[in-house]
Structure 1
Amino acid sequence: MTTPDHQPSEPQPPAPTAEDRIHRSPAAIAGGVVMLAIILWLGFDALFNGHGRTPWLALAALILVVPLVVAFTLRPAVYVGEDRLRVRNPFRVITLPWGEIAALRSGYSNEVVAKSGTKYQLWAVPVSLRARKRAARRQARAEAAAHDGGRSGGPGTRAGAGLGLGRGARGGGEPSVPARAEADQIMEDLRETLERRGQEPSAQGEIAVRWAYEIAAPAVAGAVLLVILLAVG
């Protein structure tokens, strides 16, 4: 039996589970791997083969740059659970119960808007204007093919055949539905989950924000070391 002055420990936001859907940017990951390979190659070459202050400068630069590259390329992810959305951005991890989310917006960037009005950008779901234009062109071609097929033939007309569009024909000669840009489709799936789970009792709670000190601390240490080395000449 607890005493009246006993204060329960503050609950921690749940970690992502195997059931969570995870969204990440393949382009960012690929770019990050290439950048890290180049940076490490140049850095270790200077570290082991440099002379004078060069190895120390290379070490400071590696401590500064490597965490930043990891933060902006490999780290971002969005975990979609039944009760909450967990957003892992370069320097923060934001856990938002669905009941605390007001909207999911897409513009030049994708972001989640809390009921308090605070906005959090989804770094792992970047907007690609080029992908949107490609999807719009596919949409226009599909509509044109469906229109021409409706005028020239009956149920046997293969409207849109060979265009490689969408999610596949539905049967009965109906043309395929053109696929949207990947980021826009992800945002639409998130909106559907918000609409479905937003009022559930298990999806209520408080928003939790945790700073990524494991990224910030080494980057700051590397910056301080680099400044000191440059200052002492």
Structure 2
Amino acid sequence: MRALAAALRLLYPRVCPFCGDAIPLGQRVCPKCTLQSHRISDTINHKGVLEAQGETLPYAEGDIAPFWYQGPVRRAITAYKFSARLGAAEVLAAHMADTCRAVLPLEEIEGVVCVPGRPRQRRERGFGHSELLAQHLARELDIPYLKGALVKLFDTPYQHRLGLPARRENLLGAFEVADRAAVRGKTLLLCDDIVTTGGTAAECAKMLRVRGCERVYFCAAAAAGKERNREANGKL
């Protein structure tokens, strides 16, 4: 099997999941996209990527992300979600895992849970983008993935189209823990592709805590925040 995989790599060279260019063996992303991607420092992540912007994530012990949502990372997430460039999920999850190892107490985390997507969207795309990301992240960290532990009960208006007060009310009652025994008394890692104000993550973390989860940490692939340009320019 390994010989076959090696032969396939020679016949079909690896391409950058962010832009599609060929990349050298052993690299996740091409040099151009690596240079243009704006990473979030461990200093910011230790503080909390939302707290660093004057926001909070209720019901969670910490909120982290490896990238700001701009440039190649933004294009990669868009292509992943809307054009099924599935290779991006594996690479994004690997970077998420790097940040988790640097910042979180992984020895305490007992399971990975994803923010559930829209049921209709999943049917249309043929995959759940947050679910696939969570599966790759769990594999990278060697932590069990709790499939279907958290579910979305009904579709809601898109968060990014709403003002802040409406965002807080939009998701009330939209999530539920399907397997309470799987989360009871545990410390879990909740993950999603993007975090903006943290409203969705907060509602999911709340339901996990209400249903008996001991602690929740949150990790996104990218953070869309007002501080991203300041850090990218070396001011954070």
Q: TM-score, normalised by structure 2?
A: 0.21
Q: TM-score, normalised by structure 1?
A: 0.21
